[in-house]
A and B are shown apart, each in its own frame.
Chain A
C-alpha cells in the first residue's frame, strides 16, 4: 500500500514538472531558445492568484484566470523587450538574457511582495479522497493536476498538429527564413508561442502552490530547473516527451527517496538522466535532426 501511496505522490509531483516542462518545450521547439525565466513566470502566476484570492477575496477560478491573463501578457512583453532584439544574435547571448530576465523577475517580486513567506490557499478545496479504509489518500489537487496535465498535452498536440497557426509554428521551427518567404509572420508566431508558454506557466504556478503551499520570490526557480531537466529527459521540443519526462522524473524522485535514501535522491535522479542521455542523446521521445550541410 505504501508503494501505491508513493506512486501517487510521484505522479502528483511529476505532473507539475510536466506542465512546467510543456512550457519549456513549446518555446524551445518553436523559438529554439531556452527560456530560463520560465520558472519565474510561474512564481508571478502564483503571486497573482494569491493576491486575487487572499487580498481581493475573488473566487479561486477568477484568481486562476487573472494569473493566466497577467502571465500571458508578461510573457509577450518579455519576448518583445528582451528576446526579439536578439533574434539574430548568437544563442548564447539569448540564454544569458533569459537568465537576466529571471533575476529581474525575482527581484521585482521581492520589491512588490516582500521577502516573507506567504502561505497559499489551495484553489482546489475539499477533503482528500480516502481509499482502502484510509490507507491510501489522494488529494483533490493531485487529481486536478494530473487531469490538467493530460488535457494540456492533448490540446497542444492537436493545436500544433492540426490548426493553421500550429502549422505556422512548426514551419517557423523548421526554417525561419523559408517560413517568412511563405508569408508566415515569424514575429507574431513567436509571440503566440510565448503567450501559450506563459499561460501554461501561470496554471503550473497555481497548481504548484496549491500542492505545496508556500510562496516566495524564489518559489519557481527550483521546480523550473527540475522541469527543464524533465523536458530534456523526455526529448526537448517534443510535447508528449515533456509529459513523459515530467512524470518519470517525479516518480523516480519520490521512489529514490522512499526506497533508497532521502539523502541521495537528487543524485539518483540526475544519474538516471545522465544514463538516459548517454543511451539516447535526444531524450526519450526526441527526434534526431541531422544538421544540413
Chain B
C-alpha cells in the first residue's frame, strides 16, 4: 500500500517535471524567434555535426571552417549569416534530435550532417520540412537520392570510387591491387562497389578483396596476409582513419610495405594523438583540397584557420568553408532576404544550385546536377614527412 502510494507520488512528480520542461522549451523558442526578427537581417544556417565521438575530427573541422567563412562574409557587410551547430556524436538518433533543436532555433537553411549515416537519417525530415540543405561531407548516395532539396559539397561515394580507380590506372600506381573494406558501412561499400566496376573497365587487376565490420575492426592480420600472399603492390583502403591507422600499424609489424591508397576518410590520420606518423609515410589519398596549394584563397584560409585553431585545416574544413560561400553566392543571386519563409528559400536555392557555377577552395567551376551531386575534379595527395603534399 505504502509502496504503491509512493510510486504514484513519484509518477506525479515526473509528470510535473516533464510538463515544466515542455513549458520552458516553448518559452525559449518564443524568445529566440523574437530575437531573430529583431536582429533582422541574418540568415540562420544550422547543421548537425559530431563535435564529440569517434568522428569528432571531422565535426570540429566543419564547424570551424564554416565559422571562418561566415565571419568573412559578415565582415563584408552584405548578406549576414548566423551559424549554429548541434552535436550529433555521429549517431543517427542523436542527429534527429539535434536537427529538431535546430528547427526550434529557427533554422532557415541547413548544412545537413557531417557524416553519412546521420545525414541519411535527417534528410528524410529535411525533405518533408522543405528546408534546403547543402551537406559539406555526407557523401553517401542515399543522402541525396529522391530528395530534390538536399545537395552535397563533397563527392558522392560512388564518384570517389570511380575517381580513385581512374587515378590509379592513369598514374599506373599499381599492377596488383588489394581492397580492404568495411562491409557494414554504407560509405565504404559504396566506394568499393564503384571502384571495382571502374577498375574492371580500366583493366586493373584486383587480386584480393577482404572485409571487416564494426565487430571485427581490431585484427587485420588475415586481410593483410591475404594481400601479401597474393603479391598486391597497392592496397586500397576506402574507410575512415581509425581502422586505417590499425592497418598501417599491423602491416608494418608484419613487414609488409605496399603502397596504400585512401579516400577522403583517410584525411585526419595525421592528427590521431600519439600516432607514429612515419607509418603513414607514402600513403596516398584522393581529396579535393590541398592545404599546401599556393593560390591566394587557400593560403588565406589556411593562415586564418591556423591562427584561430592551431592546426592545418583538412578537407572537411574546406568543404564547410565552401558551403557557406556557395550559400552566400546563391542567396545573393536569388535576391533572397531573411524574412522569406523556409519553403520560398528552398525553391530559390534549388533553382540557383542547379544552374550556378561556383569557384571554391575544393575546386573550380563546380556544378550540381538535379540529384544534388557535385561535379568537380579531385586532387591526388601523398603524405610526406608527416604532411599532405600534392602529387
Q: Closest residue to A256 on the B side, CB-wise? A: B222
**Contact A214 B246, beta carbon cutoff 8 Å:** yes
**Contact A116 B183, beta carbon cutoff 8 Å:** no
- A216 near B: Cβ within 8 Å? yes
A2 to B223 Cα, complex, angstroms: 12
Q: How far is the CB of B54 from chain A (nearest CB, A)?
A: 6
Query: Which residue from B242, B253, B271 sits with its C-beta under 8 Å from A137?
Result: B253
**Contact A139 B253, beta carbon cutoff 8 Å:** yes
Q: Which of B199-224 contact A (CB under 8 A)?
A: 210-219, 221-223
A139 to B249 Cα, complex, angstroms: 12
Q: How far is the CB of B220 from chain A (nearest CB, A)?
A: 9
Q: Which of A68-127 contact B (CB under 8 A)?
A: 110, 114-121
User: Given A128-B253, A128-B254, A265-B216, A118 and B273 touching (CB < 8 A)?
Assistant: yes
User: Given A115-B56, A118-B273, A119-B272, A222 and B215 touching (CB < 8 A)?
Assistant: yes
- A13 near B: Cβ within 8 Å? yes
User: Given A9-B221, A115-B53, A2 and B229 touching (CB < 8 A)?
Assistant: yes
| B240-254 interface code vs A (CB 8 A; 1 in, 0 out) | 011001100110011
Q: How far is the CB of B231 from chain A (nearest CB, A)?
A: 13
**Contact A266 B274, beta carbon cutoff 8 Å:** no
**Contact A254 B54, beta carbon cutoff 8 Å:** no
| Complex interface: chain B residues within 8 A of A226 (CB) | 215
A139 to B253 Cα, complex, angstroms: 7
Q: Closest residue to B90 on the A side, CB-wise? A: A115
| Complex interface: chain A residues within 8 A of B216 (CB) | 253, 257, 265-266
- B52 near A: Cβ within 8 Å? yes
Q: How far is the CB of B192 from chain A (nearest CB, A)?
A: 12
| Complex interface: chain B residues within 8 A of A117 (CB) | 54, 241-242, 245, 272-273
| Complex interface: chain A residues within 8 A of B229 (CB) | 2
Q: Closest residue to B209 on the A side, CB-wise? A: A262
**Contact B255 A9, beta carbon cutoff 8 Å:** no
Q: How far is the CB of A89 from chain B (nearest CB, A)?
A: 15
- A212 near B: Cβ within 8 Å? yes
A50 to B219 Cα, complex, angstroms: 20
**Contact A214 B211, beta carbon cutoff 8 Å:** no
**Contact B274 A118, beta carbon cutoff 8 Å:** yes
Query: Which residue from B50, B183, B218 sits with its C-beta under 8 Å from A263?
Result: B183
**Contact A2 B273, beta carbon cutoff 8 Å:** no
**Contact B52 A5, beta carbon cutoff 8 Å:** no
| A209-229 interface code vs B (CB 8 A; 1 in, 0 out) | 000111010100011001000
| Complex interface: chain B residues within 8 A of A6 (CB) | 221-222, 225
**Contact B225 A5, beta carbon cutoff 8 Å:** yes
Q: Which of B80-103 contact A (CB under 8 A)?
A: 89
- A258 near B: Cβ within 8 Å? yes
Q: Size of chain A's interface in residues, with CB distance under 8 A?
A: 38
Query: Which residue from A54, A110, A128, A212 sits with its C-beta under 8 Å from B246?
Result: A212
**Contact B275 A119, beta carbon cutoff 8 Å:** yes
- B311 near A: Cβ within 8 Å? no
A254 to B53 Cα, complex, angstroms: 29
Q: Closest residue to A50 on the B side, CB-wise? A: B274
Query: Which residue from A137, A214, A253 sits with its C-beta under 8 Å from B254?
Result: A137
| Complex interface: chain A residues within 8 A of B250 (CB) | 212
**Contact B219 A13, beta carbon cutoff 8 Å:** yes
- A183 near B: Cβ within 8 Å? no
- B29 near A: Cβ within 8 Å? no
| B38-55 interface code vs A (CB 8 A; 1 in, 0 out) | 000000000000101110
**Contact A213 B249, beta carbon cutoff 8 Å:** yes
Q: Which of A191-247 contact B (CB under 8 A)?
A: 208, 212-214, 216, 218, 222-223, 226
**Contact B273 A119, beta carbon cutoff 8 Å:** yes
Q: Which of A238-293 contact B (CB under 8 A)?
A: 253-254, 257-258, 262-263, 265-266
Q: Closest residue to B243 on the A side, CB-wise? A: A214
| Complex interface: chain A residues within 8 A of B276 (CB) | 119
**Contact A116 B246, beta carbon cutoff 8 Å:** no
Q: How far is the CB of A147 from chain B (nearest CB, A)?
A: 19
| Complex interface: chain B residues within 8 A of A263 (CB) | 183, 211
- B384 near A: Cβ within 8 Å? no
**Contact A116 B56, beta carbon cutoff 8 Å:** yes
A263 to B210 Cα, complex, angstroms: 8
- B148 near A: Cβ within 8 Å? no
**Contact A218 B54, beta carbon cutoff 8 Å:** yes
Count chain B CB atoms within 10 A of each CB in A13, A222, A254, A257 and give the residue with the most.
A257
| Complex interface: chain B residues within 8 A of A119 (CB) | 245, 249, 272-276
| Complex interface: chain A residues within 8 A of B214 (CB) | 222
- B226 near A: Cβ within 8 Å? yes
A226 to B242 Cα, complex, angstroms: 20
**Contact B225 A2, beta carbon cutoff 8 Å:** yes
Q: Which of B263-309 contact A (CB under 8 A)?
A: 271-276
| Complex interface: chain A residues within 8 A of B52 (CB) | 110, 114-115
Count chain A CB atoms within 10 A of each CB in B213, B219, B250, B271 and give the residue with the most.
B219
**Contact A262 B221, beta carbon cutoff 8 Å:** no
Q: How far is the CB of A131 from chain B (nearest CB, A)?
A: 12
- B57 near A: Cβ within 8 Å? yes
Instruction: Name 12 interchain pairs, CB-CB below 8 A, sorted by A.
Output: A2-B225, A116-B272, A116-B273, A117-B54, A119-B249, A119-B276, A121-B274, A214-B245, A222-B217, A257-B210, A257-B222, A262-B223
Q: A116-B273, A118-B273 are in contact. List 11 more A-B contacts (CB 8 A).
A: A5-B221, A9-B222, A50-B274, A116-B272, A128-B253, A128-B254, A137-B253, A214-B246, A258-B222, A262-B211, A266-B213
A-binding residues in B (CB < 8 A): 50, 52-54, 56-57, 89, 183, 210-219, 221-223, 225-226, 229, 241-242, 245-246, 249-250, 253-255, 271-276
Per CB-CB distance, the 5 closest pairs between chain A and chain B, nearest first, are A119-B275, A9-B221, A257-B222, A212-B218, A115-B56
